[in-house]
Amino acid sequence: MISKSLKRLGIGLLVMSSLAGCNSTDNEEVTETKVNVATEASGIFTNPLFPNGADPWLEYWDGNYYLTTTTWTSQLVMRKSPTLAGLADATPVNVWSSTDPERCCNFWAFEFHRLKGPNGYRWYMMYTAGQDGTLDYQHLNVLESVGDDPMGPYQYKGALMPEVWNIDGNYLEHDGKLYVIYSQWRGDTQLNIIAEMENPWTLKDQEHMVLTTPELDWEISGRKVTEGAEILQHNGRTFMTYSASFCNTPDYKLGLLELTGNDPMNPDHWTKSPEPVFSRTETVFGPGHNGFFTSPDGSEDWLVYHGNDSVEHGCSATRSLRAQKFTWSETGEPEFGEPLTPGVEVAPPSGENGPLVTRVQGQRYQLVNATSELCLDISADPEDNRAVQRQCAGTNGQWVLDSTTDGFIRLANREDSKFLEVANCATSDNARVQSAAWRNNYCQQWKVEAGIDGNVTLSNRYSGKPLAVAGCSASANQAVLQHNTDSACNQWQLRPMGEVALMSQQSGKALAVNGDNIEQQAFDYQAEQSWLFVPTDTGYLSLKQDADSELCVGVDANQVVPGANISMVNCEEKTAQWRLTPKDGGGMMLFNRYTRLPLGLTDCGLAEGTNIAQQPDLATRCQIFHLREPQ
């Protein structure tokens, strides 16, 4: 399959078994079986997936699809979902923004690739940006992720060629070398050009070579354009698709090259297909600027691209996101077929409904029961997969709250790489809760809602009933079951583990200390951008930079009014405690225990140094922060 999509088996491990629907495990006594089509989402979708989805890039990694599309703004947006259809309603999260006048604006064509850099494998986000009010200074920029999470945080690494116009960058790995392929105007002709790289953000001081020149009739409709090169590697062969003709015409389309020699820098070692490989139909116009991804089980190859529904539409916000499966010819060339007609039902990528075991990326949490002060965990007995409460420790009971759809999450266990479910999709009180492979059913999804004294409740999507400790016991290894809503021990504290970066959903910048003041800064591995959440006497938490510090995030002079400044105050102050409230898309609002008001960005600013204040509860993205691991 597509080699870059299978590195480190990023598709996860699909467990081949006879499990289907909500079957029980071998060691479970079945007390109730309630398998119903209503427990599962079909995953069937129709194109377009959603509007205004130009220049898409999509990867499936560790149990989730990740998607970027052009924004035209100063923000880089990412969507995430465990299903392809779920991307249509996934919360857009801005993972980066810039206010530097040289590269602040007109963000285009983001692509994120998992490459081995100086510090190991990282995600490298290459995107086009330029200056306000003009498109004359567009150029490629590169970000590097902190770890293996495509959601970041990201650090800015540099611009490839900031002095000249260049767009639509894509990486090629071949024979142990790394190359970038980009597009550039020379006179009245737009070319695709290749250059070798020193590392994912630095070019070697060598000549750049032209790979595609628009010369065939189907490459010069409207203007002479070849752009948007994308690499496709299969069975030891390397192909490159590219978008041809002017994007403002309905004749924008895909062409194809194959590397038929050994040297990617030698244009003679590439062979161009004489005909386009993906073109307009009577219902889809201007299909192009594509990407490739594999299905969750690795058995299918998929094409993602943008297109228009009308011949009058061009390269504007009318371009919508589309996806479809493609195949291979008997002689080993890709066969993309035709763009699917809008409204035609498309089956989801193979393996989307599991069974899947994978280490989902994201912030780790412990879920601490408010009554027993023990952590939600899975039995230590390897023959037993039931949910229990155990002593909280840094080596167990860690969960990722991973968004699904409609405001629900799945609870991904970091130890066994499985997911919390209600066994057999039971709706009864005291039903067993257990760890199991992901099968994309509602019995494995949960609603996290504000509870009492800073705590939360976790209710099953299918039954609507909450998690609680059996008999409200304070004993370790007591079962955690599905109870009724009247249970007295269904309150849980969300306790983030380890050092945390707090990234604004609005700006993609990190909450940071400057002196004693709290502001936002572009992420740059600074100690001032790293936080610890320390539990207090209830479900509330203190937010500090060092476990032994006497200073915590609080409100200046204990003011209760909106607009009051946020700074580092003595941890004994009454405004130095906070409640985490989950929001759709995986973000959190931080509410002050005393004032009951949330943190937020002043004026929803993107600028470096924008101040943090307490605000009225408006639940905007300017008040939502995403917890990420900063190392």
- What is the Cα 361 distance to its own chain's centre? 9
* Separation CA 154–CA 77 (nearest Å): 12
By DSSP bridging, strand 105-117 and strand 120-130 are antiparallel
DSSP string, 419-432: EEEEGGG--STTEE
- What residues form DSSP beta bridges with 224? 189
Residue pointed to by tokens 């707090």: 502
Assess contact for 334 and 285: CB atoms under 8 A. no
* Separation CA 185–CA 275 (nearest Å): 23
* Residues written for the chain: 631
Catalytic residue among 55, 168, 251, 377: 55
Residue 112: which H helix or E strand, with range? strand 105-117
Tell me the one-letter amino acid at 21: G
Q: Which long-range contacts (CB under 8 A, 24 or more apart) does 23-26 make?
A: 23/424, 24/423, 24/424, 25/385, 25/423, 25/434, 25/436
* Separation CA 392–CA 9 (nearest Å): 31
- Count CA within 13 A, CB hemisphere, residue 546: 7
Catalytic residue among 40, 59, 227, 421: 227
Reduced to 3 DSSP states, what percent helix, strand and coil does the chain have, rounded to the nearest 5?
5, 45, 50
Residue 115: which H helix or E strand, with range? strand 105-117
Give yes or no: 230 in active site: no
Assess contact for 485 and 497: CB atoms under 8 A. no
* Separation CA 259–CA 179 (nearest Å): 13
Secondary structure, 3-state, 200-242: CCEECCCCCEEEECCCCHHHCCCCEEEEEEEEEEECCEEEEEE
Buried b (16+ CB within 10 A) or exposed e, 158-186: ebbbeeebbbbbbbbbbeeebbbbbbbbe
Determine the 3-state secondary structure of 165 from DSSP.
coil
Give yes or no: 55 in active site: yes
Q: CB neighbours of 382 closer than 8 A, spacing ≥ 6? A: none
* Separation CA 232–CA 228 (nearest Å): 13
* Separation CA 218–CA 210 (nearest Å): 19
Q: CB neighbours of 492 closer than 8 A, spacing ≥ 6? A: 367, 368, 369, 370, 376, 451, 455, 456, 457, 458, 467, 539
* Joined tokens for residue 533: 């959440």
User: What is the set of active-site residues?
Assistant: 55, 227
